[in-house]
Structure 1
C-alpha cells in the first residue's frame, strides 16, 4: 500500500467534504499512525486515551462524535467493543486506488497531443498564421493543468492552517478558563482572610468584669454582656464578627444608661 498516494487521496476527499473540521482530520491522522504501526493491516485495535493524546482531543464527547462521523461518512469502519479490557476495532480504507483512474483519464489525453503539436511546429520553420494561432492556444491549456495542481496544494495548505488555528483557539480558551479559576480561588481566599482577620479574640469573663468595674458599671451588667455575646458567637447584630469587644461594651453601657 502506497501511503503517500493514500494520504493524497484522503486530503482530496477532505478538500471537497464540507462536513469535516480540523478535529476530524486530526483524529483520522492519529488512526492512520496506528494503522501504519500495524503495517497497514486491518483491523487495528485502538485505545481511547492513546488516540485522544495523539490527536490532541481533550473532550471525550468530541472524540466519540468525530469517530462516529468518520464512520458514517465512509472514511473508516468503527466497531466499538464496549469492554474496558478490550480495545475497539477500526478498519481503514485504501484511498490510493481512487487516484489511478483520475490520472489516466485526465493527464494522458491532455499531455500527449500537446507534445505532438509542439514537435511538428518546431520542425516546420515556415509556419502559417493558422499554425501560429494553434501554438498560442497551447499555453492556456498548460497553465490550466498547473493551476489545477496549485489548487490542490492550496487546499492542503488551507487545511493545515485551519488545524493550526483551531489548536490556537483551543489553547486560548483553556488559558482563559485557567485564569478564571485562579481569579475565583484568589477572591475566595481573600474573603476567607478578611473574615478570619476581622474576628476578635474572645475575651474572658474576668476581663469583661474588670472592664465594667473600671467604667463604674455593675458586675451584673458585665455578666449579661458576656452571656449575650457568648451565646451568639460574638457577632454584632447576629451577622458581623465583633472586631473590638471593648467598643461593644461601651455601647452596651450607654444603652443600659438610656
Structure 2
C-alpha cells in the first residue's frame, strides 16, 4: 500500500467532487488514519464516538449522513451494525495517482502490501503534512469563493497553522469559516496600519497585531506646532 499515492489520488478526487463538504473530508481522513493504525486490512470495525472525536464532528446526524454519503459515492464501503456489542464495518477503496489523476475504486485492498512498523512514525509525519495541504486548499477555495485575494488566504492559513488553530492562543477554533470572514473584515484595517507604520519609519515601533484596534494615530507628534 503506497499511502502517499493513495492520499494524492483521493485529494485529487476531492478537488473535483463538488458534493463534498469539510465534514465529509474530515471523516474520510479519520477513517484513513484508523485504517493506517490497523495496517490497512481489507476491512475493519469502527466506533462511532471514536470517529466523531477524530473528525471533530459533534452531531450524530451529521456523522451518519456523511458516512452514508461517502459509501454511496464509493469512497468507502460502509456496513452498519445493529448489534450494540459489535461495531459497524468499513472498507476503504484504493485511490492511486496516475498521469491523468484517475482513481481505481475496485482494486482489492487485500492484495496491497502492508506497511512495516518501522515506517509508522514517518507515515504519521507525512500524513500531518498532507492534512495541512488539504486544509490550505479548502481555505484557498473559500477565499476565492468570497472574492478575496489568494495572498490573504495564505496569510490566514499560515497565521493559524502556526498557533495550532486557536483563538487567542487558548481555545480551539470551532468554525474556521466564520474566523476567515472576520479576518477578511479586518484585513483593510491591517493594511492601512502597515502603510502608516511604513511612513513613520520608526525602528522602535511595535509589531502590528492583526486583531488589535488600530486607530492609525501618528505617534511622532510635535508639540511645538499648533
Superposition TM-score, scaled by structure 2 size: 0.48
The structure with the largest helix share of the pair is 1
Superposition TM-score, scaled by structure 1 size: 0.42
Bigger Rg, which one: 1
